[in-house]
Amino acid sequence: MVHIVIHATGLGISAASAAGILVLIGGVSIAGKVIMGGIADRIGNKSAFIISFIVMSASFFWLIVAREMWMLYVFGIILGFAYGALSPLMSPMVAELFGLTSHGAIFGVTFLAAEIGEAVGPVLTGSIFDVTSSYQWAFLLCAVLSVVGIILSSLLRPADGKPSLTAA
């Protein structure tokens, strides 16, 4: 996300307009949390998780071809929704997969892994840009990793083979 402003200014978009994309991502992520949290209550957390990764993948594939301001704003809306949507789904997914006995510890490790990815991502993106003088490969990597998220999410199964939301 932090590179979207630099990418947009590189396309000739003003810094203020480019920064608006970040604002849009943040604002729409709030809606993603609320809406997808409610949807997950109806269709299940796993299905909502997969939908969120599908939407996120679409946003990165869109970003690869986006060259105009309106296209970058569409990216911001789509990514913001998907990025926000994943957040409220993580804790219930951990509970469904592992039960509640060690929920705090398992969720802590899961969240730590996500935070490490969020720390490494901008550095890796900058390195890819430094080597290629383009963000296209980095955006493609984000799209591919989102597709991997779809695949891995679809493979998730509770540790004991059945849903468990009570402490053992």
What per-residue confidence (pLDDT) applies to 162? 56
CA distances for 142 relative to 2, 78, 146, angstroms: 13, 14, 6
Residue 131 has pLDDT above 80, yes or no: yes
Contacts of 50 (CB under 8 A, 6+ apart): 150, 153, 154
Residue 30 resides in a domain: yes
Average pLDDT, the chain: 92
Q: How many CB atoms lie within 10 A of CB 3?
A: 17
What per-residue confidence (pLDDT) applies to 166? 43
Distance, CA of 165 to CA of 46 (rounded, Å): 14
Mean pLDDT of 113-142: 95
Full domain range(s) for residue 129: 4-155
Structural domain count, the chain: 1
Q: What is the pTM of this model?
A: 0.88
Q: pLDDT grade, residue 23 (50/70/90)?
A: very high
CA distances for 130 relative to 61, 123, 136, 138, 160, angstroms: 21, 10, 12, 11, 46
Q: pLDDT grade, residue 2 (50/70/90)?
A: confident
Residue 161 resides in a domain: no
> What string of DSSP letters covers the chain?
-TTHHHHHHHTT--HHHHHHHHHHHHHHHHHHHHHHHHHHHHH-HHHHHHHHHHHHHHHHHHHHH--SHHHHHHHHHHHHHHHHHHHHHHHHHHHHHH-STTHHHHHHHHHHHHHHHHHHHHHHHHHHHHHHSSSHHHHHHHHHHHHHHHHHHHH---TTSS---S--
> pLDDT tens digit string along 96-110?
999 898 999 999 999
Domain of residue 89, CATH code: 1.20.1250.20
Residue 165 resides in a domain: no
Residue 85 resides in a domain: yes
Residue 164 resides in a domain: no
Share of the chain above pLDDT 90, in %: 88
> pLDDT tens digit string along 37-77?
999 999 999 999 999 999 999 999 999 999 999 999 999 99
Mean pLDDT of 71-92: 96
Share of the chain above pLDDT 70, in %: 95
Residue 59 resides in a domain: yes
What per-residue confidence (pLDDT) applies to 163? 52
Residue 158 has pLDDT above 90, yes or no: no
